[in-house]
Amino acid sequence: MAEKNAIIIGATSGIGRHLATVLAADGWHLGITGRREALLQEFADEVSTPVHTAVMDVAQTAEAMETLESLIDTMGGVDLMVVNAGVGFANFKIDWEPEKNTIDVNVTGFAAMANVAMRHFTARGSGHLVGISSLAGLRGMRGAPAYNASKAFVINYLESLRHHAMKKNLNIDITDIRPGFVDTPMTKGQKGMFWVATPEVAAGQIYSAIKAKKRVAYITRRWRIMAWIARLMPDFLWYRG
């Protein structure tokens, strides 16, 4: 079997770390990034597959883009890029700093990482870009305005990149992963959660979607029902929630 190289951006915990475990078990050579060097090295020491680590804060876009390009070169190119880095805050008072942080990471940082991936795959002649958006990106909600809006950006940006690749006849697959509630540090302590998936189950379904080269996948799959309801719900009902 030919060597398979993948990079997961945001792999220190939660979905990213568990997806890295799934890929490693299936023989992928990995590049993993995150802000916490100790956690990256801890993962590298746990698995038998080759792992390259890079400390990166996607909000520092210029430095992050250089770091990602260097990691790609070190690995001799990659077949799969998963942009998982993201933050989310409850912000009922709409304080500016949480909003700005969310935009810096989830919007600017995401676009920067996707840009590097697209340029690499275009030059290489093939590749698979996976972005982690959210069911929250389908409609705006009180409590975390920037988070919902940032995930709407990710959804639209991935669709735009897919359209670009198709029009240019580029051999680049693009998958939009839309999780519902997953038991991760980001969701810890949230009230009113239901259909909560373990990160292990979420990672398994994400990998299935990657292998199937799906354009859009809801994680877990039952959240497709809620996506349908959210789209069709009239405004007067939505705003009562």
CB atoms inside a 10 Å sphere around CB 28: 23
User: Nearest-CA neighbor of 100 among 55, 56, 149, 67?
Assistant: 149
For the domain 5-238, what is the CATH superfamily, name and number?
NAD(P)-binding Rossmann-like Domain (3.40.50.720)
Report the pLDDT value the prediction gives residue 2, as an integer from 0 to 100: 65
pLDDT number for residue 236: 86
What global pTM score does this model have?
0.94
Q: Is the dihedral of CA 136, 139, 145, 149 positive or negative?
A: positive
| Structure tokens belonging to residue 121 | 């795959």
pLDDT of residue 197: 85
218 carries an active-site annotation: no
How far apart CA 96 and CA 103 sit, in angstroms, is 11
Q: Which parts of the chain sit beneath pLDDT 70?
A: 1-2, 185-194
Q: Which residue out of 147, 157, 207, 218 is catalytically annotated?
A: 147
Q: Which two tokens stand for residue 237?
A: 């009902």
Give how far Cα 115 sits from Cα of 118, 148, 158, 212, Å: 5, 22, 11, 23
